[in-house]
Structure 1
């Protein structure tokens, strides 16, 4: 079994992590948007706790995925792509791999500065990065919100590119990300 990406294709590990992270990010976005619409209270705190827990798990998985992405060959594009589109798609892909590593760290910083604790299953609590500091909290929450919306914009570009490849260019890029072996 192919354990690392090559110039010809993605490894099954990369494909699995891609879809696992996609599912986790979908839940994270839903939790974050839902909590943002609620008034302060126990229900909002529970959503934020689930968002934080999933963010911590996502951080670990995404950190490995980012390392693998940066240390492996990226497969060649399928078909005859426009070089500008290749540069844009690869930039978006690296940004999408980097965001699930940076956003949880920023969330942890914001919670620490607010005096909140990131609790994990099993009663494990992450130590605070900084002490109580309203200014740091404000900046970290603002950066988290901006980063989340920038991530969603990059995700929209990523999905647009996948749909363009599948429906307009009619190549096998999407099939390759579903684990099929394709000809370049």
Structure 2
């Protein structure tokens, strides 16, 4: 990732952050159709017609997350990101970097493993997908809690930077 330092996130970076977050939230909340179709497939049964469109929606949204995540990572590498607050304890900075690294890794691993299971039938890919999804949930909750602690306890601008559309 780039060492370039910029004053704020771009509108595109902010849009990508919240779009990916919204799509992942949809995936967490509306995955039943995919689970039912996958279970039927694994048992050699026919899926319920009502679940099939939900399964395809899950696939499309997962691929959208992958494409948007690639764009986001490319922007991060080429444009840079604002520096972390100088007020943070080194342990908090390390935790923030580790959390971001895990989130970035999982927003690639989860859709790729799902695609490998769905399209290629790769053994074990569905397990990686489910475990990755579960880990992603907890790391995203940690990420959100960290942003809220930064805002309300440490009174930094970390949360405001991802909410404000300051530049193009």
Normalization by structure 2: what TM-score? Answer: 0.80
When the two chains are superposed, the root-mean-square deviation of aligned CA atoms in Å is: 2.3
Instruction: For 1:28 and 1:149, locate their aligned partners in 2 and report how far apart those are by CA, in whole Å.
Output: 12
Tell me: higher relative CO, structure 1 or 2? Use CA pairs within 8 A at least 6 residues apart.
2
Q: Which residue of 1 aligns with 2:49?
A: 42
Q: Aligned residue for 2:77?
A: 70
> Contact 2:11/2:165 (CA < 8 Å) preserved in 1?
no
Question: What is the aligned partner in structure 1 of residue 16 from structure 2?
Answer: 17
Q: 2:27 is matched with which residue?
A: 28
How far 1:172 sits from its partner (Å)? 1.9
2:134 paired with 1:149: yes
Q: Deviations over 1:139-169 (max 9, x none)?
A: 0110000111111111011011011012211
2:109 to 99, 102, 106: 102
C-alpha distance in 1 between matches for 2:83 and 2:112: 32
| Alpha-carbon distance in structure 2 between the residues aligned to 1:146 and 1:70 | 28
Matches within 5 A, 1:114-125: 114=121
- Structure 1 gaps of 5+ residues are 115-135
Matches within 5 A, 1:104-183: 104-114=111-121, 136-137=122-123, 139-179=124-164
Counterparts of 1:89 and 1:42 in 2: how far apart (Å)?
44
Q: How many residues align?
A: 155
Q: Deviations over 1:2-43 (max 9, x none)?
A: xxx734221121111111111111111112256447975223
- Larger mean CA deviation between 38-47 and 89-98 belongs to 38-47
Higher relative helix content: 2
Name the CA distance, whole Å, in 2 between partners of 1:81 and 1:72: 23
